[in-house]
Chains A and B, each alone.
Chain A
Amino acid sequence: MEAGTPEMVRLEDLRVPGQLSGRKHILSIMVENKPGVLARVAGLFSRRGFNIDTLSVGPTDDPSISRITLTLDGAVHPIDQVTKQLHKLVNVLKIRDMEPTETVAREMALFKVSSAVENRAEIIQFAEIFRANVVDVARRTMTIEVSGSADKIEAFERMVRPHGLIEMVRTGEIAIARGSD
Chain B
Amino acid sequence: MRAADTLMESLKAEGVKDVFGIPGGANLPTYDALFDAEFRHVQVRHEQGGGHAAEGYAKASGRVGVAFATSGPGATNLVTAIADAMMDSVPTVFVTGQVRTELIGTDGFQEADILGATLPFVKHSFQVTDARQIPEYVHEAFHVASTGRPGPVLIDIPQDLSRADIDYVPRTEPVELPGYRPSIEGNIKQIRIAAKALANARRPIFYAGGGVVNGNASEELRELAGSDRFPVTSTLMGLGAYPSSGESWLGMLGMHGTFAANFAMDKADLIVAIGARFDDRITGKLSEFAPHAKVIHIDIDPAEISKNVGAHIPIVGDVKQVLPKLTREYRALQTDSTRLEEWWNSIRGWQREHPLYYEPGKDGEIKPQFMIEAMHRATQGDAIVTSDVGQHQMWAAQYYGFDKPRRWINSGGLGTMGFGLPAAVGAKVACPDEAVVCLGGDGSLIMNVQELATCVTNEIPVKVFLMNNGYMGMVRQWQELFWDRRYSSVEMGASPDWVKLAEAFGATGMRCEDAADLEETMVKALETEGPVLLDVRVAQEENCYPMIPPGQAARDMVEAPRGAVRE
Which of A2-10, A107-115, A117-125, A147-155 faces chain B?
A: A2-10
Beyond A3-B333, A6-B196, is A40–B303 a contact (Cβ under 8 Å)? no
Q: Which residues of A contact B193 (CB under 8 A)?
A: 1, 9
Which of A84-92, A130-138, A167-175 faces chain B?
A: A84-92
Partner of A14, one of B120, B294, B303, B335: B294
CA of A88 to CA of B300, assembled, Å = 11
| Binary per-residue interface labels of chain B (106-121) against chain A in the complex, 1 for a CB within 8 Å, 0 otherwise | 0000000001100110
> Nearest Cβ in chain A — how far from B140, in angstroms?
9
Interface residues of A in 1-30 (CB under 8 A from B): 1, 3-11, 14-16, 19
> Nearest Cβ in chain B — how far from A29, in angstroms?
11
Beyond A32-B179, A43-B119, A90-B179, is A16–B312 a contact (Cβ under 8 Å)? yes
Q: Which residues of B contact A81 (CB under 8 A)?
A: 303, 306-307
Whether A14 lies near B313 (C-beta < 8 A) is yes
Beyond A81-B306, A84-B302, is A3–B332 a contact (Cβ under 8 Å)? yes
> Nearest Cβ in chain B — how far from A71, in angstroms?
21
Whether A90 lies near B144 (C-beta < 8 A) is yes
| Binary per-residue interface labels of chain B (314-331) against chain A in the complex, 1 for a CB within 8 Å, 0 otherwise | 000000000000000100
Partner of A11, one of B124, B200, B305, B333: B200
> Nearest Cβ in chain B — how far from A157, in angstroms?
35
State whether the Cβ of A39 lies closer than 8 Å to any Cβ in chain B.
yes
CA of A10 to CA of B129, assembled, Å = 57
CA of A133 to CA of B332, assembled, Å = 71
Whether A7 lies near B200 (C-beta < 8 A) is yes
Whether A15 lies near B116 (C-beta < 8 A) is no
Q: Which residue of A lies closest to B292 (CB)?
A: A11
Whether B306 lies near A39 (C-beta < 8 A) is no
State whether the Cβ of B177 lies closer than 8 Å to any Cβ in chain A.
yes
> Nearest Cβ in chain A — how far from B308, in angstroms?
10
Partner of B294, one of A11, A78, A80, A92: A11
State whether the Cβ of A47 lies closer than 8 Å to any Cβ in chain B.
yes
Q: Which residues of B contact A43 (CB under 8 A)?
A: 119-120
Interface residues of A in 67-82 (CB under 8 A from B): 78, 80-81
* A-B CB proximity, top 7 nearest: A16-B310, A6-B199, A9-B196, A84-B303, A14-B312, A90-B124, A6-B196
Whether B192 lies near A4 (C-beta < 8 A) is no
Q: Which residue of B lies closest to A82 (CB)?
A: B303
CA of A97 to CA of B359, assembled, Å = 58
Beyond A8-B196, A84-B302, is A90–B201 a contact (Cβ under 8 Å)? no
- On B, residues with C-beta under 8 Å from A are 115-116, 119-120, 123-124, 127, 129, 144, 177-180, 189, 192-193, 195-197, 199-201, 269-270, 294-295, 301-303, 305-307, 310-313, 329, 332-335
Q: Which residues of B contact A165 (CB under 8 A)?
A: none
Whether B196 lies near A1 (C-beta < 8 A) is yes
Beyond A35-B129, A89-B179, A90-B177, is A9–B200 a contact (Cβ under 8 Å)? yes
State whether the Cβ of A162 lies closer than 8 Å to any Cβ in chain B.
no
Whether B179 lies near A3 (C-beta < 8 A) is no
State whether the Cβ of A93 lies closer than 8 Å to any Cβ in chain B.
yes
Q: Which residues of A contact B303 (CB under 8 A)?
A: 81, 84-85, 87-88
CA of A88 to CA of B333, assembled, Å = 36
Q: Which residues of A contact B119 (CB under 8 A)?
A: 36, 39-40, 43
Q: Which residues of A contact B269 (CB under 8 A)?
A: 11
B interface: dominant SS:
mixed
Q: Which residue of B lies closest to A35 (CB)?
A: B127
Beyond A6-B200, A47-B120, A88-B303, is A11–B270 a contact (Cβ under 8 Å)? yes
CA of A14 to CA of B177, assembled, Å = 37
Q: Which residues of B contact A85 (CB under 8 A)?
A: 303
> Nearest Cβ in chain B — how far from A18, in angstroms?
10
> Nearest Cβ in chain A — how far from B300, in angstroms?
11
CA of A166 to CA of B192, assembled, Å = 63
Name 18 A/B residue pairs within 8 A (Cβ), A-sorted: A5-B196, A9-B200, A11-B200, A14-B197, A15-B312, A19-B306, A31-B179, A35-B127, A36-B116, A36-B119, A43-B119, A78-B306, A81-B306, A85-B303, A88-B301, A88-B303, A89-B179, A90-B179
- Inter-chain pairs besides A1-B196, A6-B200, A32-B178, 11 sampled, C-beta below 8 Å: A4-B333, A6-B199, A11-B270, A16-B312, A19-B306, A35-B129, A36-B119, A81-B306, A81-B307, A88-B123, A93-B178
> Nearest Cβ in chain A — how far from B87, in angstroms?
13
Whether A6 lies near B333 (C-beta < 8 A) is yes
Partner of A91, one of B179, B302, B307: B179
CA of A80 to CA of B200, assembled, Å = 29
Q: Which residues of A contact B115 (CB under 8 A)?
A: 36
CA of A15 to CA of B162, assembled, Å = 55
Whether A19 lies near B294 (C-beta < 8 A) is no
Q: Which residue of A lies closest to B125 (CB)?
A: A36
Q: Which residue of A lies closest to B304 (CB)?
A: A84
CA of A78 to CA of B301, assembled, Å = 17
> Nearest Cβ in chain A — how far from B267, in angstroms?
14
CA of A22 to CA of B301, assembled, Å = 26
Q: Which residues of B contact A15 (CB under 8 A)?
A: 312
Q: Which residues of A contact B307 (CB under 8 A)?
A: 81
CA of A32 to CA of B177, assembled, Å = 11
Partner of A36, one of B127, B201, B295: B127
Beyond A87-B303, A89-B179, is A11–B116 a contact (Cβ under 8 Å)? no
Q: Which residues of A contact B201 (CB under 8 A)?
A: 11
Beyond A6-B335, A35-B129, is A87–B302 a contact (Cβ under 8 Å)? yes
> Nearest Cβ in chain A — how far from B143, in angstroms?
10
Q: Which residue of B lies closest to A18 (CB)?
A: B310
Q: Which residues of B contact A92 (CB under 8 A)?
A: 179
CA of A65 to CA of B332, assembled, Å = 48
Beyond A11-B270, A43-B120, A93-B179, is A16–B306 a contact (Cβ under 8 Å)? yes
> Nearest Cβ in chain A — how far from B528, in angstroms?
46
CA of A150 to CA of B230, assembled, Å = 55
Q: Which residues of A contact B123 (CB under 8 A)?
A: 88, 90
CA of A165 to CA of B208, assembled, Å = 60
Q: Which residues of A contact B178 (CB under 8 A)?
A: 32, 93
CA of A104 to CA of B305, assembled, Å = 32
Q: Which residue of A lies closest to B140 (CB)?
A: A90
CA of A168 to CA of B72, assembled, Å = 41
Q: Which residue of A lies closest to B302 (CB)?
A: A84
> Nearest Cβ in chain B — how far from A115, in angstroms?
43
CA of A78 to CA of B306, assembled, Å = 10
Partner of A16, one of B192, B311, B332, B334: B311
Q: Which residues of B contact A10 (CB under 8 A)?
A: 200
